Amino acid sequence: MHNDMSLPIALFVFIASIFFLVKSADYFTTYSEKVGRLMHMPAFIVGIVIVAVGTSLPELATSLMAVMQQHSDIVVGNVVGSNVTNILLGIGFTMLVTQKIFKAEWNIFFGDYTMLIAGMGLIYFAAHDGVITFAESLLFISGYVVYLFYAYGVHKTNHEVVVHAVQVRKQLVAAYWAALLASLVVIFLSSRYTILSVVAIAQALHIGTEVLATSVVALGTSFPEIFVAISAARKGKFDLLAGDIIGSNIFNTYVIIGVSGMVGTLIIPASLIAFAIPFAIFTTIMYWVILQDHKILPSEGAILTLLYVVFIVKLFNWF
């Protein structure tokens, strides 16, 4: 199907698909929270799990669709690119444009960040032979289960305020479920056409699909995290900002690779092993180093943003 798509049409389809993917994921998150509260789910589940899944849903949907369409080389590129984008733009660009000093309670996120760095290391070692197998994918899923147990113990008191008593009519409950299912249908269709258009663009421009996945797709699917980050920074909610970025990257690393790898073996192109994965590890550690003084200055945000430009330029071999 994608072979019949011309470059202009493929570009239009890609932009439209990313737009609908991000919007439908936003609706899914909103109505998941409402349904979760109505069903009296624990505050932790609503506050951390549903929101984390929601902001990472575009990455998850495109990754699963890529595996099902025999383009599994897109998956790890999408995850690695999204993690880099979330840190360098979600944190760096946000601090640059808002001109605020980022302040975070480091002790809240110390364990979370350890899990993130460990996950990035796991990607590197699992990918070194060019594939991520079913057995290795189980390791990623197990890692996320460990994280959930840890996060529940540490963060449960911080999320008790998320759930409030909700009194609604029964017809509203049905409407919430209908909106939830409708958003899932749009997510499925938009992720499918995202992958189709990416493959068509890559073929037309003679660029590897993994390069587009690590750059353009990753940027498009990271919009929810970036929007949340800018909104949180403007309100001075820096712990929410840091939590969203770190939580999203942990979900990307463990769940998206784990679930996708259980659907089919993930192919890892040599270019990712040589540059993108090591760069993502470097970015993750650099963010950790910058956070040691519990704050990020706008000037440090400018450095992170510049690093993203370097990442893209190197990815496309423009120098």
Three-state SS annotation for 237-296? CHHHHHHHHHHHHHHHHHHHHHHHHHHCCEECCHHHHHHHHHHHHHHHHHHHHHHHHCEE
Q: How confident is the model at residue 177 (pLDDT cuts 50, 70, 90)?
A: confident
Q: How far apart are the first and last CA of the chain?
A: 34
Per the listing, tokens 């942990």 go with 250
Pairing mode of beta strands 295-296, 102-103 = antiparallel
pTM for this predicted structure: 0.83
Using the Cα atoms of residue 258, residue 263, residue 265 and residue 266 in order, give the sign of their dihedral. negative
Share of the chain above pLDDT 70, in %: 87
Q: What's the burial of 39, exposed, middle or buried (CB within 10 Å: 0-12/13-18/19+)? A: exposed
- Region 122-128: mean pLDDT is 93
- Region 229-237: mean pLDDT is 79
DSSP 4: G
Q: Could you tell me the domains of the chain?
A: 2-315 (1.20.1420.30)
pLDDT exceeds cutoff 80 at 38:
no
Q: How confident is the model at residue 282 (pLDDT cuts 50, 70, 90)?
A: very high
Using the Cα atoms of residue 300, residue 305, residue 311 and residue 313 in order, give the sign of their dihedral. negative
* Closest CA relative to residue 218, chosen from 173, 185, 252: 252
